[in-house]
Structure 1
Amino acid sequence: MKILSKFLLVLVFAFGSEHLLAQVTITLPTLPKNTPTKDDIYIAGNLNNWNPADANYKLHKLGSVYTITLKEAKGNAEFKFTRGSWDKVECNKNGGQIANRTFSYSKKLALNLSVSGWADLIGEQDTASTALPNVSILSKEFYMPQLHRSRRIWIYLPKDYQDALTKRYSVLYMQDGQNLFDAKTSYAGEWAIDETLSKLEKAGDEGCIVVGIDNGGSHRMNEYNPYVNKEYGGGEGKAYMQFIVETLKPHIDSAFRTHTDQMHTGIAGSSMGGLISLYGALAYPIVFGKVGVFSPALWLSDSLFEFARNSYLDPRINVYYVAGTNESAQMISDITRMDSILNKKGALWYNSSVNIKADGEHKEWFWKREFGPFYQAAFFDVSEAYQKQWQDRLERNIKLVPNPANEFTEITTWPIKQLQLLTEKGSLIFETYVNNPYYKLDVSAYQNGLYYVVLDFGFAKVTKTLEVNHKQ
């Protein structure tokens, strides 16, 4: 131990005096014997958005010892060691997944750790898959022409898919596919999407196809952020979302029995995946009608807030935010800020849901637990019963004031997509696109008599009778 302590002292001076203020030094005195000598060792955790090949978190090698001194920070850290990708993450001696390593930042903390094995070097036969039979790999190398690289794609099919041959299904596109269905491929714990949806289907849910897109490992930070961040990279998010919309979705819609419209199509993800999913909904409002935004990394760029201010959203979009009080202090304020921006645009009328959980952490177990509530909240509106419920509600609550009208009648309701004015005989005499919950209809030029005001909300139409009377 004396030799190791002297060695660490030498490292401090070797890497410069600025590290004297650093709080945590992590050292790996030895590695498994089968570790390739040319491979670098990295730390991937909540301190770098789980990037498995972050050059800023590569351990320095001196002799046979690997070490890194981390920058000052507060709170708790979670991490794992990798050799540059999640396929090469550390594991136990039998090839099984291990829990995240943790520590609390404190001055002069020194951690001497060891790695029992590497997932790619022990053999997959030592770890059993936890994915259900209706989960499969659509492609191990699905080409992404917008990014000139390939990616593994997963697909979950509802249990009645093979039997209900005339039935079509909603589709949910999700980020970080490694973590969705199978503990064998997960690097931080699986979400158990397949088990959750199967239970809901047994309870009567219509079912949903889920498409899981593996993250790109070292490309994750770039692909999941449409804006460049000087410290963390980014800038490929636009191309990544183009891949989903222009390449992957058309393939899924042609190969499987899907509902292709916006109200049956969702996108979801956590952390960086939450950021890119929200961006996708803002960039493609006619494609995605459901958005699961789990603990989004909105802190990376103010550009997304500005993009939100200038974006058009279909008023029926369902945005579901999830976060915990045990995450960063900025997390909740960022979500509140984004939700406020979108609500001021009148876009989210009844479908914005901010869910802050007292025990919530920036961890897979939390997102796993909250997936079911998100799914039920987001996709409950695709049923015929729901559509009728809203049709009846609109019929009861929409009023034309005043009615009879002399010069104007005002309509205050949920955002109207389109308004038409018909004569008593059904002839169209006026038409406009509104996209606003308020509209003041000028009837001063129309003759006395009865007219029909047709309000189209996209998912429902309501017709109200209007009397024009200039003799009032």
Structure 2
Amino acid sequence: MPRVTFQLTLPPGTPPGTLFLTGDHRAWSSDPHGWTFSGSTLHAELPDGTLAQVKIRRVNPDGTTTEEGDAWGGRARAHRIKVHGDTTVPLTVAGWQDARGGTGRPQRCGPPREETVLDAPWGAQPLRLWWPAGHEGPLPLLILHDGQNVFDEAATFAGDSWDAAGAAQALADAGHPVRIAALPVNDDRSHRYVPFPFELNGNDSGADEYADWIRSTLLPHLHARFGPVHAQDTALAGSSFGGLITAYAGLRDPGTYGTLGVFSPAVWPGDFAFLRWLAGRGDPRARVWVDMGDHEGSSVQGAQEVITLARDLTAQLAPHVREARFTVGEGHWHDEPAWRERLPEFLRWWRQP
């Protein structure tokens, strides 16, 4: 098995503590056992072809754990590693997460124009809205899941966003203005987005309730506020579990959405229950975008398997929808930077067919 050497560079003033490596290769465990750095070096053995995203954490003298962050005390993007034979991986830590929470970080992506809250069965549902200046009436509508991740980085989980406002502004500048309605989600994400019972939603899915609310509450609210928008000009999109709920809600309620943006769909819950549910379903009026990065998986082989799965899903849908488009993101991982890069092409495909 290849030997992987992690070489660590720390920011000045790093407090004392035990430094260790965590990542998706070990389910983001906070147990330092077996993954502790000796000085600035950690040696490990990982299978050849491993793809992993990792971060540094520090066990403080009082027993608490602090994760690496950016230079402003906010969350930082994970380091990406690919094992191909014996490998040396340099890891540079920019800072540590602290009470500042990223305050003072230069803004790289545009914020929403408006934020409000709507009533929902699960409580108050934040709604983040953006539209190009000078377009106050009805516009083609894009509803995005994981709304905390799609505009400015301040609200994001990992310090990266989709830069949806930037992509939509470029589309507007090309003569195709749209309105974006983004729905942030909290720790109920697995419950709200996964339409089948599995471990992470406590075997209790709330996806039908969520899809019902979008159709019966959110859409009427937006139509009353800005003017009616035809289903053919309404798109629903999201990534990972957000891609799963997009496909599920769109195909469960044919005629509600004209376009479905299914980014990196995570279809594995319930032993791939979605693929069984999908059989024979479709919407002859809908266009469906499906994509996947070529680094989405725990290994090079696994990444190719999920690409094949997504391609087959697209082929299964093709006879039952107006159009099915499949795209592979080269060098793309399962993260916001990848979806940010693919979003502009999706928007152009949606509005410039």
Scaled by the length of structure 1, the TM-score of the pair is: 0.58
**For residue 117 of structure 1, what is the amino acid of its counterpart?**
W
Which has the higher mean CA deviation after the structures are superposed, 239-248 or 190-199?
239-248
Contact in 1 for aligned 2:190/2:200 (Cα 8 Å): no
Answering whether residue 183 of structure 2 is matched by residue 209 of structure 1, we say no
Residue 332 of structure 1 and its aligned partner are, at CA, apart by 1.7
Query: Aligned equivalents of 1:161 and 1:82: distance in 2?
Result: 46
The match for 1:330 is 305
The 3 A distance-change label for structure 1 pair 330 and 123 is closer
| Residue number among 144, 153, 156 corresponding to 2:120 in the alignment | 144
The 3 A distance-change label for structure 1 pair 254 and 97 is same
Residue 123 of structure 1 and its aligned partner are, at CA, apart by 5.1
Residue 149 of structure 1 and its aligned partner are, at CA, apart by 3.9
Q: Describe how 1:231-250 pairs up with structure 2 within 5 A.
A: 235-250=205-220
Q: Describe how 1:67-146 pairs up with structure 2 within 5 A.
A: 75-80=50-55, 90-96=68-74, 98-104=76-82, 116-118=95-97, 121-122=99-100, 125-132=103-110, 135-139=113-117, 142-145=118-121
| Residue number among 327, 332, 337 corresponding to 1:360 in the alignment | 332
Query: Aligned equivalents of 2:258 and 2:242: distance in 1?
Result: 17
Superposed CA offset, 1:57-108 (max 9, x none): 442489xx99xxx99876121145799xxxx97522423553312345699x
Answering whether residue 155 of structure 2 is matched by residue 185 of structure 1, we say yes
The match for 2:320 is 347
Q: Describe how 1:284-433 pairs up with structure 2 within 5 A.
A: 284-300=253-269, 301-311=271-281, 313-327=282-296, 328-343=303-318, 346-349=319-322, 351-380=323-352
Superposed CA offset, 1:9-36 (max 9, x none): xxxxxxxxxxxxxx999xxxxx987x9x
Residue 290 of structure 1 and its aligned partner are, at CA, apart by 0.6
Answering whether residue 204 of structure 2 is matched by residue 225 of structure 1, we say no
Superposed CA offset, 1:307-328 (max 9, x none): 22143x3312010112233332
Query: Aligned equivalents of 2:168 and 2:217: distance in 1?
Result: 26
Superposed CA offset, 1:189-218 (max 9, x none): 22111111112211211x1111111232x3
**For residue 191 of structure 1, what is the amino acid of its counterpart?**
W
Contact in 2 for aligned 1:294/1:367 (Cα 8 Å): yes
**For residue 365 of structure 1, what is the amino acid of its counterpart?**
P
**For residue 326 of structure 2, what is the amino acid of its counterpart?**
V
Residue 231 of structure 1 and its aligned partner are, at CA, apart by 6.6
**For residue 126 of structure 2, what is the amino acid of its counterpart?**
R
**For residue 153 of structure 1, what is the amino acid of its counterpart?**
L
The match for 2:133 is 159
| Residue number among 25, 30, 38 corresponding to 1:59 in the alignment | 30
**For residue 340 of structure 2, what is the amino acid of its counterpart?**
K
Query: Aligned equivalents of 1:72 and 1:227: distance in 2?
Result: 33
Residue 266 of structure 1 and its aligned partner are, at CA, apart by 0.8
Query: Aligned equivalents of 2:22 and 2:201: distance in 1?
Result: 15
**For residue 152 of structure 1, what is the amino acid of its counterpart?**
P
Query: Aligned equivalents of 1:71 and 1:158: distance in 2?
Result: 51
Contact in 2 for aligned 1:81/1:90 (Cα 8 Å): yes
The match for 2:62 is none
The match for 2:251 is 282
Question: Which 5+ residue runs of structure 1 have no aligned equivalent?
Answer: 1-22, 26-30, 36-40, 49-55, 382-472
Superposed CA offset, 1:423-461 (max 9, x none): xxxxxxxxxxxxxxxxxxxxxxxxxxxxxxxxxxxxxxx
Query: Aligned equivalents of 1:175 and 1:290: distance in 2?
Result: 14
Rg: which structure is higher?
A: 1
Contact in 2 for aligned 1:277/1:292 (Cα 8 Å): yes
The 3 A distance-change label for structure 1 pair 231 and 123 is closer
Superposed CA offset, 1:226-262 (max 9, x none): 1123477562322222232233222222222341x32
Aligned-partner SS, 2:153: coil
Query: Aligned equivalents of 2:134 and 2:164: distance in 1?
Result: 16
Question: Which 5+ residue runs of structure 2 have no aligned equivalent?
Answer: 7-12, 38-43, 59-65, 297-302
Query: Aligned equivalents of 1:360 and 1:61: distance in 2?
Result: 29
The 3 A distance-change label for structure 1 pair 213 and 89 is farther
Residue 299 of structure 1 and its aligned partner are, at CA, apart by 2.9
Contact in 1 for aligned 2:70/2:95 (Cα 8 Å): yes
**For residue 347 of structure 2, what is the amino acid of its counterpart?**
Y
| Residue number among 266, 271, 289 corresponding to 2:235 in the alignment | 266
| Residue number among 161, 167, 185 corresponding to 1:196 in the alignment | 167
The match for 1:417 is none
**For residue 152 of structure 2, what is the amino acid of its counterpart?**
D
Higher RCO, Cα 8 Å, sep 6+: 2
Residue 272 of structure 1 and its aligned partner are, at CA, apart by 1.7
